[in-house]
Every structure is written in C-alpha cells, then in structure tokens.
Amino acid sequence: AQKITQTQPGMFVQEKEAVTLDCTYDTSDPSYGLFWYKQPSSGEMIFLIYQGSYDQQNATEGRYSLNFQKARKSANLVISASQLGDSAMYFCAMRGQPGFQKLVFGTGTRLLVSP
Amino acid sequence: DVKVTQSSRYLVKRTGEKVFLECVQDMDHENMFWYRQDPGLGLRLIYFSYDVKMKEKGDIPEGYSVSREKKERFSLILESASTNQTSMYLCASTGGDSTYSPLHFGNGTRLTVT
C-alpha cells in the first residue's frame, strides 16, 4: 500500500521568496509516479508537476520544481519567486504500479504568501 | 482541455435522504473516481471505476455506492445521508494506464447534511 506524508499543515512565505513544501512517501512498488496539486480557495484541483520513479532528472514546470530524493523517499515541491496567487492548499500524491490508476493523497499544506 | 463537470456546487440535504452526486467527463476516459476531502485528512478515495459497469471500493466506501452506466458518467449515491457525510466531494477522471496520467478534477460538490 502507498502512503503520503505531509508534515507541514501551514507555511508562510514572503512574496518573491522561494518556499519548499515537504512530502515523503512509502511504497514497495518499483515503478511509481509522484504528483503535486494546488487547490486555491475556489476549490478546483490544479495539477502542477509530475515525477516518475525512474526519471533521472528532477521535474520542473516554470516556477515549480520537484526535489526528488529516491533513497530518502521524498518528493518536495519548490516554488521559486512566490506570488500572492500561490496562496493555496498544496497536495502531494502518488500512484503505484501502472494499471492501478488511483492516486493516494497526503493531508495537504496550506501556503500563505504575504506581500 | 479535459472537462469534468459535477452537477452541483453546493447541496444541503436532510439526514436519511437519498443523495445523488453526478459527474460527467468529456474526454472518453476509462477511469473515474470519487474522493472525499475533509480538513486535516486530505483526499480519501471512496470508489473508482475503470470501465462501464465496473466499480472498485476505495478506502472509505461505507455508506456510499456508485453507478457507471455510461462511460462519461459516474454517480455517487448516499443511500441514507448522515451528518458525518457532510464534506467536499471531488470527482476525477484519467485515461491510459501509465504511472503518468494526472487526474483531472471537477470543481467539487460541498454537501451539508443536517
């Protein structure tokens, strides 16, 4: 069974600074995928970034990057140059072996960006 | 863009009522999901379906059932609503069978059971 742990219920950052949101995972599957989603106050879940377990390089998407440390089973999200619009809930999720398409989610981290 | 549409944004129901939450996707996705979101608990999977008329229990199926008569539609049913089912319900879909297939979510239905 897969498990995702997000230990930071809330994080604060000033505008234009970088912030790291922590995520650790547990799985016995050799092949898996890790995801980050953003949920603004409006409620929609926005897919941000994906990292595959066999990917050699850390994933990046614009201001988002995923610090993937396989041996430590961590997949931290780094947001560079924070903006006020980054204030939201952030969820880490994973999927195990191909063919089992459900995602397992963590409990989320609420990020507040201040001016 | 994939569109997942949940029929209601807000619902208020009484204890004991039968409640239907509807979800439709327009991308011919095989897989559809119902999650429940509660503060401090994240998203928990209630049921999912990988094909028409197929369903699998998720982590918290008690008190819920589902129906998938057509590929594009996945319904969540609360047979007899209870106050502990007050929550945000999120429907999602995805296609393919690789580890990379992000879920596409609807905007959620906030259900209050009084």
* pLDDT tens by residue, B58-82: 999 999 999 999 999 999 999 999 9
pLDDT at A99 over 60: no
A59: exposed, middle or buried (C-beta count within 10 Å: 0-12, 13-18, 19+)?
buried
- pLDDT mean across residues, chain B: 93
Q: What's the confidence (pLDDT) of residue A31?
A: 87
CA distance A93 to chain B (A): 10
Residue with tokens 């989603």: A37
From the list B42, B48, B88, which residue is nearest A105 (CB)? Answer: B42
Q: What's the confidence (pLDDT) of residue B95?
A: 84
**Which chain A residues have a beta carbon less than 8 Å from that of B58?**
102
Asked if B101 and A101 come within 8 Å (Cβ–Cβ), the reply is yes
B84: exposed, middle or buried (C-beta count within 10 Å: 0-12, 13-18, 19+)?
exposed
Between CA A64 and CA A87 the distance in angstroms is 14
Chosen from A39, A64, A102 to mutate, greatest number of chain B CBs within 10 A: A102
Q: Which ranges of chain B have pLDDT less than 70?
A: 2, 97
Between CA A21 and CA B21 the distance in angstroms is 33
pLDDT band of A98, cuts 50, 70, 90: low
Q: What's the confidence (pLDDT) of residue A1?
A: 78
From the list A4, A98, A108, which residue is nearest B99 (CB)? Answer: A98
Q: What's the confidence (pLDDT) of residue B57?
A: 93
CA distance A89 to chain B (A): 10
Top-confidence residue, A30 or A46: A46
**Which chain A residues have a beta carbon less than 8 Å from that of B99?**
31-33, 52-53, 95-98
pLDDT at A2 over 90: no
Asked if B102 and A35 come within 8 Å (Cβ–Cβ), the reply is yes
Token pair of A2 as six digits:
């897969």
Q: What's the confidence (pLDDT) of residue A96?
A: 78
Asked if B45 and A104 come within 8 Å (Cβ–Cβ), the reply is yes
Enter the DSSP assignment of A84.
Answer: G
pLDDT at A34 over 80: yes
Q: Give the count of alpha carbons within 13 A of A16, CB side only.
A: 1
Contact B55, B49 (CB under 8 A): yes
Q: What's the confidence (pLDDT) of residue A91?
A: 98
Q: What's the confidence (pLDDT) of residue B96?
A: 72
Condensed to tens digits (0 to 9), the pLDDT of residues A101-112 reads: 789 999 999 999
**Beta strands, E only, A1-115:** 3-5, 10-14, 19-21, 24-26, 33-39, 46-52, 60-61, 64-69, 74-79, 88-95, 104-105, 109-114
